[in-house]
Amino acid sequence: MSVIADEDVTVHAPRDRIWPVFGDAALLAQVLPGCEHLEATGPATFQGVLATKLQFLTLRADVTATIADAQPPDQLRLELEGRPRGLAGGFRAAIPIVLSDAGAETRVHYQLDLTTSGRLATFGAPILRDSFRKQVATLVANLERLLVDPSGAA
Amino acid sequence: MGEGARPTLDAAEAVVIGGGVVGCAVLLELAIRGIDAVLLEAESDVAEGTSKANSAIIHTGFDAKRGTIEARLLRRSAERWPTLLEDLGVPALACGALMLARSEDDAARLGDAAELARTHGVSVELVDSAWLRDAAPYVTEAAVRALHIPDEAIVDPFWLTRAYADAAIGLGARVVMRSAVSGLTVRPDGVEVRTGEGTIRAGHAFDCAGLRADDVARLAGDDTFTITPRKGEFLVSERTAGVDRIVLPIPGPLGKGMLVTPIVFGGVLLGPTAEDGSDKTDRSTTAAGRARILDSCRGLVPAVDEMAPIRSFAGLRPVSSTGDYIIRPSAAGDRLTIVAGIRSTGISASPGIAEAAVEVAASARGWASRPLRTRPTAAPQELAPHSGAIVCVCRSVSEAEVAAALAGATPVTTIDALKRRCGVGFGDCQGNQCAIDAVARLADANGMAPGAIEKGLIGSWLVTDATSGAPRVRSVETVERPPGESRDADAVVVGAGMAGIGAALALAAAGLAVVLVDRRERPGGAIGRLDPSWWTDAERAALDEVAALISDASIGWIGATTVVALDRVRDRWRVELASRRGAASIETNVVIVATGGYVMPREHSVIEGPRPSGVMTADLVGDALDHGWAPARQAVVVGSGRLAAATADGLRAAGAEVIRPAHGADGADDAGGGADDPRPDWSGAVAAGVRGGITAVRGQPRLEGVRVDGAWLDADALVLADRLQPATFLLRGLGLGDERPGIPAPVDPNGGLGLPGLWAAGTCVTPDVDHERSLVAGHTVAQAILATRSPAQRRAGLTRLSGRT
């Protein structure tokens, strides 16, 4: 695995409203970019299909997500394992997330520790990093829409 | 679209001559305005000229000469890029650039460069050495300051050119390949464009012919400008040394100088050189050019010395006699617009150039009042749900990706066209392991004969029209054991070459449940598909034994299947498989990586000259002969071992004349190889240094000659069969492989890879083109594995073994 992102983003919503989203499949499905299907398979595990735009290619992947080491409402580790449809190989990601109050907003620090195999491994870290950053930006926007205006989440 | 589906054209509102990035951008601009336009491309694909060989940068124009058309259109393009890239779905990254000052004199010039950039409206900042150490530790310590240009970007130039064309086709435009313009008449009421296919009458024509723009203009009687080719050589490295920004020196009189540029799909590009010439077809590379590139780029990024380039190529920039872009009505009449002299910023300025070129014509043609069409979009690439088999093993490109590429809007009829769309052949072996499979798929998709499939340029044939006879079937017959029957195993051996077979036999003899996986349909690997007269007695016995054990299910066999990943899951290995039958996985305690190697392609060594078809490795020859296709008529075969001799035999049997150069450094020509000597001495090793005395090739589009020890030999094929590169692609996903070619699997003395239960054996550990020690190597690693087993495990194995017998 290698860390390809280590960054902060700010969500314009309080931390105690963000945290519950991580445990609710229906809410997660509303904020995860390109989420076509998501269901809880256990208290902290989910399974679904995500369509991720890699600039030139929309990649549908069967994904398993696990919330690990959760310390509400401060931190958790999101573990993802996915198999893109149509491409050989897959990916595994560990995303430690730390939330801290920043006034009425929440600062979210995250890392992306990513392992790719097969075809994804040949795309190169720059493309994957760029795509992940865009996904995070969309996730933040979706979160803000959901928490500020629940009817507007995409 | 196949050859038989070429559209018949006799009329259009506008004709665009030339399918480079500028021509395709003009086509899209016309299509957006609702103008019925057709693009004529002389070659078999778009981006076959200047657009295919350049630095692949979207340049901000920060250093453009004030007052030039180039500077104005670069700025206009910068405004359009963000939306355009998003709409067209083109791989691009705004990575930024660093112009390094490596002396105080240089540093003083940076201030001027910053001022120029700001006058163009380009955001820049001057940074000091401390900033560089922190943000770009890969640059030379000699850098005292730098100009940081954050908006410089990199792009896939093939994708961009094709996306313009695809989006235009989506709006009703037409693209016709293999339509070189042979005549052009400009009249007050229209133009006539003559090609080998016929004559097209149109209201307007755009000369976007790149290097040939002056030749096309002269067809119409316009000799007001000339185009000079400026050659630039490049090197490609998979190892990046952390380079994540474009690194460039203070520019010189011939341009920006040599750059170190990240590639959007990974790796870095080094170069280009800049050499004015007169031959518009000379894309040859030279040893001197390579040395200059490495020398210059090392001065920017010292880790260039640790990069092992996997490819070199050369491009030609069209330099106009005016020193600037030429975008204006032709002297032959205003129904022809000249779009020429797009020297080295064609990609960067293409949106602005297209807009300006169409506006030149729009008022005269009455197009200005037409409503614009909806925003252009390239058709999103769709992949089938299942990947299918792996076509390109170096890059794990799947059948699904190949199928998506073949289904695109612009026709795909050549190997290079397929490569640029899905990456087949871009990897370490440079297509030598997948080109023949690609020929078969292209022929099938287009309804063409295999002999009609070309590498890229017209005339760059790959296999002759004549077949070499029936497809060869070598090696042993086996009973297929589909993956579903082998979900669990004590050991999985990846690769059924001699090392893999040696390991599998030894482990099976100890009672382990062994599964043997190989991308070929039969076990035997590189040696197994040679004529049996080339096998040793031990190899013959091993092949027979493994066939027998597979037949009675004592060894599991999964053929025509590629292992795409190894995953450590709950203290076991999960082996991920891809095949035409679908994806599957096996869980196992032990994995032996016996993936062998691939014959070192031309690109991993220094052989000067152009890049014609006909330069290949024994891997490609073997695949062609297996299909019953002859890849040569007159071949120079390099190598002094049995692979070379057997390959030569195969070519002769397919009707080719074979030349085996007797290079002094390698000793005498290979022993034997004829029917009178079925068991030759093939123990001679290839000497290091120049490969078989080969220093250069000539000819384009197909190889015409090979220079051996200073003398030219006429040949239409150069077959390299002298050295092996270890295939360690599978290990890279575990952080164990090296992205540079030629680095073997990193094993301990017993063959262990440093992770529990993971081993490697054979030529992926000890590259040997003739696999002399592979069988023994596999057996030895198996013994090391067995020695690690507990007494209870050994007893269980013996019990299982007695149950079988």
Tell me the pLDDT tens digit for each residue of A25-76.
999 999 999 999 999 999 999 999 999 877 778 889 999 999 999 999 999 9
Token pair for residue A31? 């904020």
3-state helix, strand, coil in chain A (%, to 5): 30, 50, 20
Contact B330, B338 (CB under 8 A): yes
Identify the three-state secondary structure at position B597.
strand
* Cβ–Cβ < 8 Å for B759, B753: yes
Number of helices and strands (H, E) in chain A? Answer: 3, 7
Question: Which residues of chain A lie closer than 8 angstroms to B385, CB-CB?
Answer: 60, 85-86
A58 close contact with B: CB closer than 8 A: yes
Mean pLDDT of B627-655: 95
Q: Which helix (H) or strand (E) holds A84?
A: strand A75-84
Contact between residue B379 and residue B366 where contact means Cβ atoms under 8 Å apart: no
Q: Which chain B positions have a beta carbon within 8 Å of A86's beta carbon?
A: 383-387, 398, 400-401, 404
Q: Write out the two tokens for A97.
A: 């997330």
Measured CA to CA, the distance from residue B345 to residue B72 in angstroms comes to 12
Structure tokens at B723: 């050295």
Predicted TM-score of the model (pTM): 0.91
Cross-chain CB nearest to B565 (options A2, A85, A118): A118
In chain A, what percentage of residues exceed pLDDT 70?
95
Q: What's the pLDDT score for residue B474?
A: 53
Q: Predicted ipTM?
A: 0.87
Output the CA–CA distances (angstroms, integers) from residue B673 to B315, B564, B653, in the order listed: 41, 37, 12
Q: Which of B244, B267, B387 sits opposite A86 (nearest CB)?
A: B387
Is residue B383 within 8 angstroms of chain A, CB to CB?
yes
Q: At residue B4, does pLDDT exceed 50?
A: no
Contacting residues of B for A113, CB less than 8 Å apart: none
What tokens appear for B184 in the block?
Answer: 């052009």
Chain A contacts of B399, Cβ < 8 Å?
none
For an interface test with B, give the residue of A87, A115, A131 to mutate (most B CBs within 10 A).
Answer: A87
pLDDT digits (tens, 9 = 90+) for B456-496: 999 999 999 766 566 665 555 554 544 444 468 999 999 99
Give the H or E element holding residue A78.
Answer: strand A75-84
Nearest to B512 by CA among B762, B155, B798: B798
Quick one: average pLDDT of A138-149? 87
Q: How far is A54 from chain B (nearest CA, A)?
A: 8
CA distance B617 to chain A (A): 23
Q: What is the pLDDT of residue B790?
A: 82
**Is A89 within 8 Å of B244 when comparing Cβ atoms?**
no
Q: Region B727-754: what's the mean pLDDT?
A: 90
- Owner of token pair 């869980």: B587
Beta carbons of B762 and B495 less than 8 angstroms apart: yes
Distance CA B160, CA B626 (A): 37
Helix or strand holding residue B711 (H, E): strand B711-714
Q: Is B167 helix (H, G, I), strand (E, B) or coil?
A: helix
**Torsion sign across C-alpha atoms B175, B176, B180, B183:** negative
Task: Using DSSP, state whether B85 is helix, strand or coil.
Answer: helix
pLDDT of B234 above 90: yes
Q: Can you tell me the distance from the alpha carbon of B21 to that of B389, in angstroms, rounded to the nearest whole number? A: 33
pLDDT of res. B791: 83
Characterise A4 by phi-psi region: left (phi > 0), alpha (psi -120 to 50), beta (else).
alpha
Q: Note whether B733 contacts A121, CB cutoff 8 Å.
A: yes
Q: Do B90 and A125 touch (CB under 8 A)?
A: no
Contact B300, B268 (CB under 8 A): no
Tell me: the pLDDT tens digits for B524-569? 999 998 999 999 999 999 999 999 999 998 999 999 999 999 999 8
Element (H, E) at B165: helix B157-170
Give the distance from residue B72's alpha carbon to the nearest chain A alpha carbon, in angstroms: 28
Nearest CB among B93, B266, B576 relative to A89 is that of B576
Q: Does B423 touch chain A (CB under 8 A)?
A: yes
- Whose tokens are 């690109």? That residue is B603
What's the rounded mean pLDDT across residues A101-120?
91
- The residue-averaged pLDDT of B181-210 equals 96
* Shortest CA distance from B95: residue in chain A: A126
Which residue(s) pair with B439 in the sheet?
Answer: none
Nearest by CB to residue B244, choosing from A115, A122, A126, is A126
Q: How far is CA A71 from CA A28, A110, B4, B706, in A?
A: 18, 15, 65, 69
The per-residue DSSP string of B491-518 comes to: EEEE--SHHHHHHHHHHHHTT--EEEE-
Chain centre distance of CA B51: 15
Q: Is B83 exposed, middle or buried (0-12, 13-18, 19+ CB in 10 A)?
A: exposed
pLDDT of B326-367, one tens digit each?
A: 999 999 999 999 999 998 899 999 999 999 999 999 988 999
Read off φ and ψ for residue B12, nearest 5 degrees.
-165, 160
B95 interfacial to chain A (CB closer than 8 Å): yes
Interface list for A 107-126 with B (CB within 8 A):
115-119, 121-126
Dihedral angle of Cα B448, B449, B451, B456, to the nearest 10 degrees = 10
Is B386 in Cβ contact with A116 (below 8 Å)? no
Rounded to the nearest integer, the mean pLDDT of chain B is 90
Tokens standing for residue B91: 């791989």
Highest mean pLDDT among A130-144, B391-405, B469-483: B391-405
Q: What length does chain B have?
A: 805
- Residue A122: which of B92, B262, B395 has the nearest Cβ? B395
d(CA B39, CA B211): 17
The per-residue DSSP string of A8-74 comes to EEEESS-HHHHGGGGG-HHHHHHHSTTEEEEEEEETTEEEEEEEEE-SSBEEEEEEEEEEEEEETTT
Percent of chain B with pLDDT over 90: 79
SS3 assignment, position B338: strand
- How many secondary structure helices (H) and strands (E) does chain B include? 19, 38
Find, in chain A, the residue whose alpha carbon is nearest to that of B88: A56
Quick check: B266 pLDDT over 90?
A: no
Distance CA B432, CA B619 (A): 6
Determine whether the interchain pair A122/B90 forms a contact, defined as Cβ–Cβ distance below 8 Å: no
pLDDT-derived band at A121 (thresholds 50, 70, 90) equals: confident
Is the confidence at residue B679, as pLDDT, over 80? Answer: no
**Within the 125-154 window of chain A, which residues sit less than 8 Å (CB to CB) from chain B?**
125-127, 130
B590: Cβ contacts below 8 Å, ≥ 6 apart: B490, B491, B492, B507, B512, B573, B757, B758, B759, B785
Q: Which residue of A58, A85, A124 is in closest CB contact with B385?
A: A85
Residue B621: what residue type?
A: V
CA-based nearest residue to B604, from B236, B84, B204: B236
Q: Which two tokens stand for residue B48?
A: 């076959």
For B244, the closest chain A residue by CA position comes to A126
Q: Select the more confidently predicted residue: B4 or B346.
A: B346
Q: Which residue of B has its CA nearest to A122?
A: B395
For residues B77 and B349, the answer to whether their CB atoms sit within 8 Å is: yes
Averaged over A98-115, what is the pLDDT? Answer: 92
Which pLDDT band, with edges at 50, 70 and 90, does B378 fall under?
low
- The answer to whether residue A55 neighbours chain B at the CB level (below 8 Å) is yes
Cα B294 to Cα B270: distance, rounded to the nearest angstrom: 8
Nearest to A89 among B381, B396, B735 (CB): B396
Chain B residues lying within 8 Å of A2, measured CB to CB: 735
How far apart CA B197 and CA B213 sit, in angstroms, is 20
Predicted confidence (pLDDT) at residue B325 exceeds the cutoff of 90: yes
Mark out the alpha helices in B366-497 (DSSP H runs): 399-406, 415-422, 435-446
Peptide bond into A73 cis (omega under 30): yes
How many angstroms separate the CA of residue A50 from the nearest CA in chain B? Answer: 13
CB contact under 8 A, A56 and B385: no
B597 to chain A, closest Cα gap in Å: 18
**CB spacing of A122 vs B380 below 8 angstroms:** no
